[in-house]
Structure 1
Amino acid sequence: MEQFHHGQHVRLRSRVHGTYLHADEDGHGVNLRFRRESMNAAWAVHRHPGKDGQFLLLHSAAYGHYLAATDVPAPPGHRGLRAILSKSEEEVYLRNIGGACLRANGRFWNTDATIDYIEDLDNISRKMLWVVEQIPAREVMPPLPRPIGLPHPMLRSRMIMYMWRNILGGLITCGSFVFWGRSVFRLRNQLVRRLRPMIDLDDPELVMGLPTRDGRMFPLVVDLPSSGHTLHIFLTIAGTPAHEELRYADVDAE
């Protein structure tokens, strides 16, 4: 557990394949990719106290969902059960409370990560070995990815529900609207236009975040998941105490 510090961001690299554990763009699954300079490869560390000691929780810096194990069989060609979202060079095993370990599958076509149970403690698969790479923090929010082209009329729509509270937790405003596409850049523009009758602000001053299950907020800095599910957006303004509590992973750092 000494490789994981509460609040930091890490990457998980397969010792066997050299691939990184990524959050799928659908915001639900996980996969293995070689690309390391991606927010989808960043995982925020949450150390949660329990009656039998501390538990390690990892949630995606891209979409905020926790890395979790299911009882759903892995796809054909994979071992174990499906894994989903719900000292730097030391190797670690990541075992869930049920005793199964996170496993990196094949290198090229077989690029899913699953969980598998250890049958022989003296013969643990090296595919369950992961290298923990610490990611430094950014001092400022990274620029949002610019949209490519104009919105297409056939893009998937989703409901956006937003909420803005003051530093004491009191509600300033909330609302909902239908949003087309996945561009986080365009989403911020639309929210700014909705809020300008209340406050004069520029686009970069508005900071969007998504909630985690334990009530914390993490910054939304990537394009929206492809699933089209309703998103609950928390809003804050750059420079406020709520904004100062947010942490950004510097995925481009060496």
Structure 2
Amino acid sequence: MELFPDGAHVRLWSRLHGTYLHADEDGRGVTTSPQRAALSAAWGVHRLARGGAAYVLLRSAAYGRYLALWARPAPAPAPQGHGGHPVLRAFDDPDQDDVLWVAVRAAGDEGDDVLLRHGRDDTSFVGVAGDSDNLDTRRAHWAVEVIPPRRRPPFFPAPVPVSSPLGFTRRVFYVMTDYNGEYSSNSFRTFEFKGRSCFQLRATLASLLNKEIHTNITLCVSPGSKGRLTPLLVDLPCNNEPIAIIVLITGSPDSAALELVYPDVDA
């Protein structure tokens, strides 16, 4: 569907509620908010063909993970706060289908509103939490806004002083790309990182990699072996889950080879 061009970034706006689909700050769930100019409201489009069918995958521009259908084995309940609504997942398996979505025109709508139907479960749609479970309502109708790319990468956010790391300690796996933007999955190293500051994370990685000017490195989140890299531009999510970081020299040939796109969320 032309509303979801591969490699672009989009917002999904509920015409019924006047809110946008956002990645939760916990890096696991999704929510809605009226805030428009936020990286958490930007979703990278990843088009994928499988078995003769075309699918739309949506990757959070804030945290890198993919919008996925929560699949719960009976009789286990869904995670608290998620219910039957989508969550954020890594994309690791070539046969993984929980991240597959099909965009279809919203029936009875005269505009360009779409429904995002799950590629595996055609009775599940991306909707607004708290509404009726009736899938014929407008709760699952979304207007798609394409976000233009920035001509230059945005300035890295300054560190925000905090009195303590608030208990967030996670294992960071990291690797630096070569001249062609490639890296080996066997070359990852690891360390324990306290806090959420992406500014401090970059400084720490620069020290570990012996890079004197840490503003010349770009950090990317790896959302799984089959996912696309996402530039890290916000503080880490509020969780203690491990994170994989790909490091490259800003403006180098390896940076160009990865074709990173920065959405202009203020546009």
Give the alignment's TM-score, normalised by structure 1. 0.83
Distance 1:105 1:231, change over 3 A: closer
Alignment partners' CA distance in 1, 2:261 and 2:167: 31
Distance 1:151 1:240, change over 3 A: farther
Show structure 1 runs of 5+ residues with no match.
119-123
Alignment partners' CA distance in 2, 1:157 and 1:76: 22
- For 1:205, the aligned partner's letter is N
- For 2:199, the aligned partner's letter is F
Runs of 4+ that moved beyond 4 A: 72-78, 170-174
2:160 is matched with: 148
2:115 is matched with: 93
Contact 1:165 1:173 in 2 (8 A): no
Higher strand share: 1
Per-residue deviation, residues 185-214 of structure 1 (Å, max 9, x unmatched): 111111112222xx5x42221100011331
Distance 1:38 1:195, change over 3 A: same
> How do residues 196-207 of structure 1 correspond to structure 2 at under 5 angstroms?
196=210, 199=211, 201-207=212-218
Contact 1:75 1:82 in 2 (8 A): no
Give the alignment's TM-score, normalised by structure 2. 0.80
Residue 116 of structure 2 aligns to a residue whose secondary structure is coil
Alignment partners' CA distance in 2, 1:246 and 1:148: 26
1:103 is matched with: 127
Distance 1:233 1:170, change over 3 A: closer
RMSD value, Cα: 2.7
Instruction: Give yes or no for the alignment of 1:12 onto 2:12.
Output: yes
**Which stretch of structure 1 is more off in the superposition, 134-143 or 34-43?**
134-143
1:3 is matched with: 3
| Aligned residue-pair number | 236
Per-residue deviation, residues 117-148 of structure 1 (Å, max 9, x unmatched): 74xxxxx2111110001101012221222222
Residue 137 of structure 1 aligns to a residue whose secondary structure is coil
1:231 is matched with: 243
Question: How many angstroms does 1:13 deviate by?
Answer: 0.5
Alignment partners' CA distance in 2, 1:209 and 1:225: 14
Question: How many angstroms does 1:242 deviate by?
Answer: 2.8
Alignment partners' CA distance in 1, 2:231 and 2:64: 9
Show structure 2 runs of 5+ residues with no match.
90-104, 106-110
Residue 94 of structure 1 aligns to a residue whose secondary structure is strand
Alignment partners' CA distance in 2, 1:243 and 1:170: 12
2:68 is matched with: 68
**Which stretch of structure 1 is more off in the superposition, 217-226 or 238-247?**
238-247
Question: How many angstroms does 1:250 deviate by?
Answer: 0.7
**Which stretch of structure 1 is more off in the superposition, 236-245 or 22-31?**
236-245
